[in-house]
Amino acid sequence: MALTKHELEELKRAKQALENPGIAAKLSALAGSPVEKGMKMLPARLQSTVHSATETALNKALEMAVKTLGARRGTSSRDGWHRIAAAVSGAAGGAFGLPALAIELPVSTTLMLRSIADIAAAHGEDPREVDTRLACLTVFALGSPRDKRDDPAESGYFAVRSALAAAVTEASKHLAQKGLAKGGGPALVRLISLIAARFGIVVSEKAAAQAVPILGAAGGALVNTVFIGHYQDMARAHFTVRKLERAHGAQAVREAYDRS
C-alpha cells in the first residue's frame, strides 16, 4: 500500500528537519555572533572536557533508558514541560560558566531523553521495549552539523542510521542477555562512542554559545531551550520515519524519502 498524501507530507517535513538541522544558526542568533567565533573563545582543554562530559552524559542516559523509561504509547508528548526543566538546568550551568558543563550536561541529557521517549510513545512506540529505548538513545547522533566537504550520501539521516545499525544490534543482544552489567561491555561502549562522536559536535556548539560573556544564567537557560528543542525536532522526525516504516516497510519509505 502506497503512502498517502498526508503521509508523504509528514515524511517531507521529517526529511527537512533531519537533513537541515540548523542548530548552529539558532545558537549564533542567540549569542549575537557566529558559533565559530565562540569556538575561538573556548580554552584548548575544553575539547577533552566536552568529550568526557558527553560520554558521561550518554552513559547516564543509557542507564536511565534501560532501567526507568516507562510506556505512554499513543499519548501526546510533553515538550513544553521538558523545555522548562532543561531551561532551569541551563540557567544553573550558565551561572557557573563552562566549568559547570560536566555537571549540567548529564542532567540536561537525561531530561532530553525523557522528552524523546515521550515523543516515541506519541508515535506509537513502547519505551519499555529495548529496540525503542535504543532508538531513543540514537536520536543524540542525529542532527549534528554537516561539514561542507562531506558527501551527502555518506552523512545524511539514513547514512547515520546505517553506521549505527550494527552497534545497535550488538547492544540490543547484550542488553537482552546480560542487562546493564557493571562496566557495560564492548557492545555498549562501542554504541556510546559512535553516538558521542556526533553528539559532541553539538555539545561543543552549545558550549561555544554559552562562552559569550553577556549570556550568563539567562543565556544558559535560552541555550538549553534551543538545545532540547533541537533534539525534540530530531526525535519527532525520526519516529515519524519509523512509524511509516512499520506501516509500509523500510524500502518503500526510503524510496519516498529520497524522492521528497
Residue pLDDT, tens place only, 230-251 = 999 999 999 999 999 999 999 9
Predicted confidence (pLDDT) per residue in 190-220, tens digit: 999 999 999 998 888 887 777 665 555 456 6
Euclidean distance between CA atoms 158 and 232, whole angstroms? 18
Q: Is 5 exposed, middle or buried (0-12, 13-18, 19+ CB in 10 A)?
A: exposed
Digit-by-digit pLDDT tens for the chain (260 residues) are 789 999 999 999 999 999 988 887 777 776 665 666 656 666 666 667 788 889 888 988 888 777 776 655 555 555 554 455 545 554 444 444 556 677 778 888 888 888 898 899 999 999 888 899 899 999 999 988 765 555 555 568 999 999 999 999 999 998 888 877 655 688 888 999 999 999 998 888 887 777 665 555 456 677 778 888 899 999 999 999 999 999 999 999 999 999 99
What is this structure's pTM?
Answer: 0.83
**Cβ partners under 8 Å of residue 121, min gap 6:** 71, 72, 73, 74, 75, 77, 127
Euclidean distance between CA atoms 29 and 52, whole angstroms? 27
To the nearest 10 degrees (0 to 180), the angle between helices 5-19 and 157-178 is 90
Q: Where are the domains of the chain?
A: 5-259
C-alpha cell at 122: 506519541
The DSSP annotation for 213-225 comes to: TTTHHHHHHHHHH
